[in-house]
Structure formats: C-alpha cells, structure tokens
Amino acid sequence: MTSRRAFMTMSVAAAAAVTGTLLTGRTVSADDELEFPYNVAFTQKHQGHWEGKAGTHVPKVEITDTEIIVTTPHPMSEKHYIVRHTIVDSKGTPIGEHTFAPTDKTAVSKYPLPANSSGKKFYVTSFCNLHDLWIGKFKI
C-alpha cells in the first residue's frame, strides 16, 4: 500500500462489501445484511481472537437532531490508538470518515445527519492499530 489512507479505504470497503464466505470456516454476521469471514472484522458479539477487547474497540453512536457522534472509548497513545472511524449505509456506501493521530486525546468524530435517513440502518467502524477493524450497527 502506498499510504495509510489507501489501506484504510480498502479495508473498510472490503469489510462492508464482502458477502458470503470467502474463506473456508465460519462466517460472522453483523446482521442479516452483512456477512464477513471470521477474524477479519469484529463485533460486540463476535470478538474472535480479540475476545475481551470489545468494550474499548466497538464504536458507540449518539444521534442528535443534526449529527451522528461516534466515540470509541479507547486510550490514545503513540503505540496503541484508534486510527479511523467510518460510517457506511447498509449497501456499503460511505457516509463519512475521520482519521485520528496518536496524539489526539480521544477517538470522537462527528458527521452531519444524512438526509432521508430516518428508519435506515448504518454501520460504523473503528480501526485500532493493534486490534484491527471493529463494526457496530445502528438505525436512525
């Protein structure tokens, strides 16, 4: 990869777009619309080889009248930090993304509430430099 941004874009697109089983073995489903190979991306329910890490890695979502606020309650340090948040719709279309620096005090990002989003499902990702890609889902 030529850059961290290219790698992250590819990682999020792959996690959002993969359907069915690409590898032999188990598949994990974040919900009925999205499946991905086991130990590629992680959720609260399916923590894989990172069992016990969900509490500080699964992104939390707060919705206000005008915006979506994403927080990953994870310490930020030079050696271990949240690299990126991304929001996609149920088809994998990007809604917003934010890249963090290890010097940021917290992993909090804000996005405008998408037009006509009431009742729709979205996925939010949090990528840790040591513990991989974590996915949460939410409905507006």
CB 5 within 8 A of CB 31: no
pLDDT, one tens digit per residue, over 83-94 is 999 999 988 899
Report the pLDDT value the prediction gives residue 39, as an integer from 0 to 100: 77
Class of domain 4-139: mainly beta
Residue predicted with more confidence, 17 or 129: 129
> Mean pLDDT across the stretch 103-110?
97
Domain ranges (residues) in the chain: 4-139
Query: Residues with Cβ < 8 Å from 21, sequence gap 6 or more?
Result: 27, 35, 37
Query: How far is it, in rounded angstroms, from Cα 102 to Cα 83?
Result: 8
Residue 135 has pLDDT above 70, yes or no: yes
Report the pLDDT value the prediction gives residue 5, as an integer from 0 to 100: 56
> Helix (H, G, I), strand (E, B), or coil: what is residue 84?
strand
Could you tell me where the DSSP H helices lie in the chain? Answer: 4-17, 54-57
* CA 130 vs CA 77, 94, 104: distances in Å: 12, 24, 17
